[in-house]
């Protein structure tokens, strides 16, 4: 299977099947089956990840790396529990994507949301958080191929983008969940009220990316080169 075909399948799974799953969770299940929807999202997230290994099976150590990155992300969210919006989850997810690829980035983001909400509280918002943080990791993985994401300006711009992107996405869930249908007027009001959170989150993304990108990327690169994983 060529890289272009694998990428196309990944995009279909992530951009088409997952949003349909989220929409079904809101409309058909009225947000009551969020555990089921979360599991479906994880299963779908695994499809592009396992496709990225082409004809060979992933080694346990490759899966372990993803688990460790998700654990670091969860620990970071817990560490900054007293500072709402100021979290390193998006930054760590993005760094994983930069270093290990789009599929690994998405899986890390999705797992980070699911596992951390075991401490912060599961709810109908969990599948949407999984998707939004996963998308940040996926987009980061695609941008990581350009070789620009270890520079300060691209990192700053991506941090701002990630903060705005996450807020815009979560407000879609908030609007549909509150009114039952999507309304542009209600969505605009939700975005307006979320501006302070969006700004804090964007700033925190920039700070954590600038602080953590180099040391984590270097460690991940050493692991990749030493064990020949996730190449």
CATH code, domain carrying 126: 1.10.1760.20
Expressed as residue numbers, the domain containing 197 is 3-227
- 229 phi and psi angles, rounded to 5 deg: -105, 155
| pLDDT per position as a tens digit, 137-150 | 999 999 998 988 98
Taken as a whole, the chain contains a residue count of 231
Rounded CA separation 228/4 (Å): 22
- Tally of domains in the chain: 1
pTM: 0.90
Long-range contacts for 193-198 (Cβ within 8 Å, ≥24 apart)? 194/167, 194/170, 197/84, 197/85, 197/167, 198/163, 198/164, 198/167
| pLDDT per position as a tens digit, 17-76 | 999 998 888 777 766 678 888 999 999 999 888 887 766 677 788 889 999 999 999 999
Tokens 């509150």 sit at which residue?
178
């Amino acid at each position: 299977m060529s890289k272009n075909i694998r990428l196309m399948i990944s995009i279909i799974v992530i951009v088409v099947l997952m949003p349909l799953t989220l929409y079904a969770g809101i409309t058909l299940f009225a947000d009551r089956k969020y555990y089921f929807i979360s599991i479906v999202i994880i299963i779908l997230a695994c499809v592009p990840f396992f496709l990225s290994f082409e004809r060979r099976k992933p080694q346990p150590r490759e899966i372990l790396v993803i688990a460790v990155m998700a654990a670091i992300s969860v620990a970071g969210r817990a560490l900054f529990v007293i500072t709402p919006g100021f979290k390193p989850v998006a930054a760590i997810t993005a760094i994983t994507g930069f270093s290990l690829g789009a599929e690994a980035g998405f899986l890390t983001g999705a797992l980070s949301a699911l596992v951390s909400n075991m401490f912060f509280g599961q709810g109908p918002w969990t599948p949407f958080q999984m998707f939004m943080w996963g998308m940040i990791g996926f987009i980061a993985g695609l941008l990581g191929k350009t070789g620009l994401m270890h520079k300060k300006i691209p990192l700053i711009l991506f941090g701002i983008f990630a903060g705005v992107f996450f807020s815009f996405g979560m407000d879609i869930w908030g609007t549909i969940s509150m009114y039952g249908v999507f309304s542009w007027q209600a969505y605009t009001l939700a975005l307006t009220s979320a501006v302070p959170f969006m700004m804090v989150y964007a700033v925190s993304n920039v700070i954590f990316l600038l602080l953590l990108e180099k040391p984590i990327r270097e460690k991940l690169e050493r692991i990749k080169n030493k064990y020949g994983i996730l190449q």
